[in-house]
């Protein structure tokens, strides 16, 4: 018995000494050495993450292919039944993919403007990045850590990231290398500007693990993001617009869309933005469609109306299919959503919390039209003569002060036709 125990302990010590090794198929075969595969995974992660407080750009297709190789290698590494041949093949494939990816992506760049200039040059067919000129496929910009703007004020027709010019750019996605990545304008009254400006039919996605914050404008719209002139913006899962401030007589603390389109996906966040007028989180005007398929608009503040969302013009449409609007504040009406000037709002899903739902941070309108509770519109203020539309969903509660209209004879909610 002592000899058997000694043999077992010796075997255990051997396994511990091998570190990255395991037995073949979980049985008694030769040990499987995964050390080289582990090293390859570490190198691949470093290549994908980039340099701290820097960014790089790459064709989206090349990034996707590289991520697929990483996932395949991780699967083999985590498979206790993998053979040595499978492990070795995975290591070789990933090492080859990492070398290729390092050649496909740009060098580390310290400022977004430099990256955009390079993308514009390459997309136009000039020099800039081998293999890219003239290629119309999308590109992805990866941000590692936090990059903070250190320059002076930027004019109201531009942005720190200035994506404008007809045919100047391919579709662009902005992503973080890891959770917590941010582009921080760090604006103040002495250093004004917005984070992202999209114009002239360009298409931009703010994707996973990246926050745009710190935009500051004393007299214009969209301190975080502005979308103009037939451009398109998607706030995808893991993307965040937070901590931006648009003061003066304009709105859209986080996002302003005027004659463009914007989509919020599940997992997207617009929070903690402020405006001196309307639309603390989002403001839409002109011929615009805002579609909320999911995500959260929360904790935003408007000095007048539309703490969460302001629908400002007759040709502006807000379609809410999912997600949550909660915890927003307006000093007068429409803590969650404010609709004026014959704008359109159709709600087919999701939840907008009222003034006292007791189940979530409630939207609040603190003064109300005429000071009457029925006009507070904690959840939604509908300054229209037509009917507000909702299908098969809830607003959290149904108190009179939570659903308001400027015409008491109109139905507050009807089935959308």
pLDDT in tens, 79-100: 999 999 999 999 999 999 999 9
**353 pLDDT more than 50:** yes
Radius of gyration of the chain (CA): 26
Element (H, E) at 161: strand 161-163
pLDDT at 350: 85
* Residues 6+ away with beta carbon under 8 Å from 381: 305, 330, 333, 334, 337, 338, 339, 365, 369, 375, 404, 405
Report how far residue 174's alpha carbon sits from residue 156's, in angstroms, rounded to the nearest whole number: 22
Stretch among 11-20, 25-34, 262-271, 361-370 having the lowest mean pLDDT: 11-20
Which two tokens mark 3?
A: 């000899």
Give 10's pLDDT tier (boundaries 50, 70, 90): very low
Greatest C-alpha distance within the chain: 92
Can you give the pTM of this predicted structure? Answer: 0.85
Closest C-alpha among 204, 341, 201 to residue 260:
201
Stretch among 204-208, 288-292, 356-360 having the lowest mean pLDDT: 356-360
Strands (E), 178-320: 181-184, 196-198, 203-206, 210-213, 216-217, 225-228, 232-235, 239-242, 245-246, 255-258, 261-264, 269-271, 274-275, 282-285, 288-292, 296-298, 301-302, 309-311, 316-320
């Amino acid at each position: 018995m002592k000899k058997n125990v000694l043999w077992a302990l010796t075997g255990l010590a051997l396994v511990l000494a091998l570190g990255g090794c395991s037995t073949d198929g979980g049985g008694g075969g030769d040990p499987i050495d995964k050390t080289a595969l582990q090293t390859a995974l570490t190198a691949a992660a470093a290549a994908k993450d980039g340099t701290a407080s820097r960014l790089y750009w790459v064709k989206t297709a090349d990034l996707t292919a590289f991520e697929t190789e990483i996932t395949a290698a991780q699967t083999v590494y985590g498979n206790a039944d993998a053979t040595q041949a499978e492990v070795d093949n995975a290591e070789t494939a990933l090492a080859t993919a990492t070398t290729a990816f390092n050649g496909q992506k740009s060098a580390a760049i310290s400022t977004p403007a430099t990256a955009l200039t390079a993308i514009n040059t390459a997309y136009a067919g000039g020099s800039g990045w081998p293999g890219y000129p003239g290629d119309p496929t999308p590109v992805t910009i990866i941000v590692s850590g936090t990059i903070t703007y250190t320059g002076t004020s930027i004019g109201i027709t531009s942005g720190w990231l200035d994506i404008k010019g007809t045919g100047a750019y391919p579709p662009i996605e902005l992503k973080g290398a890891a959770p917590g990545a941010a582009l921080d304008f760090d604006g103040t009254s002495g250093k004004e500007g917005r984070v992202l400006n999209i114009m002239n039919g360009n298409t931009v996605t703010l994707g996973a693990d990246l926050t745009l914050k710190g935009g500051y404008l004393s007299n214009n719209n969209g301190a975080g993001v502005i979308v103009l002139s037939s451009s398109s913006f998607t706030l995808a899962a893991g993307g965040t617009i937070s901590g931006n401030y648009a003061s003066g007589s304009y709105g859209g603390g986080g996002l302003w869309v005027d004659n463009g389109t914007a989509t919020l996906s599940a997992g997207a966040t617009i929070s903690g933005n402020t405006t001196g007028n309307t639309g603390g989180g989002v403001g839409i005007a002109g011929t615009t469609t805002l579609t909320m398929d999911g995500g959260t608009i929360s904790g935003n503040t408007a000095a007048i109306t539309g703490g969460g969302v302001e629908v400002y013009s007759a040709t502006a449409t807000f379609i809410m299919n999912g997600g949550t609007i909660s915890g927003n504040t307006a000093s007068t009406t429409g803590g969650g959503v404010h609709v004026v000037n014959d704008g359109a709002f159709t709600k087919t899903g999701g939840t907008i919390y009222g003034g006292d739902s007791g189940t979530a941070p409630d939207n609040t309108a603190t003064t109300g039209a005429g000071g009457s509770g029925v006009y507070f519109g904690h959840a939604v203020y509908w300054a229209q003569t037509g009917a507000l539309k909702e299908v098969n969903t809830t607003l959290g509660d149904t108190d009179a002060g939570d659903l308001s209209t400027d015409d008491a004879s109109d139905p507050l909610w009807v089935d959308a036709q």
